[in-house]
Amino acid sequence: MTDAKITDAKDRIAETVKANAVVLFMKGTKTMPQCGFSSRVAGVLNYMGIDYLDVNVLADDALRQGIKDYSDWPTIPQLYVKGEFVGGCDIITEMTLSGELDQLFEQNGVSYDKDAAEKIREANA
């Protein structure tokens, strides 16, 4: 893969995370995840009613490597809120269960279903 492709991918990633309040770089799509970790994070966001852009890294090898380089994070999925990298599956799971994800959405003006967030915590207590 050429450096130009990686640079182009990083530029596309930067534009995407700046143009959308919530972005999930994942394997597959929000309606058809292609790995368990992507499925878990998409499931949380879907259940909480988050309006987010899903980016399928399996559709573009340059993007798949580019997102890892962009965030300096080795795994996918990766969640971005208001242009900031939040984390991968384990971090999102922990933040959901602790209520930190709710706080992050509230601080950034991202609407979500508070009852759904509580149900996730109750089910995992």
Q: Which two tokens stand for residue 29?
A: 């799509």
Question: Cβ distance 73 to 25 under 8 Å?
Answer: no
Q: CB 99: neighbour CB atoms within 10 A?
A: 12
Strand arrangement of the beta sheet that strand 78-81 belongs to: 53-56, 22-26, 78-81, 84-87
Please tell me whether 35 is known to bind a ligand. yes
Alpha helices in 1-54 (DSSP H): 3-19, 36-47
What is the 3-state composition of the chain as percent helix, strand, coil, each rounded to the nearest 5?
Answer: 55, 15, 30
Q: Binding site residues, as ranges?
A: 35
Q: Binding site residues for [2Fe-2S] cluster, as ranges?
A: 35
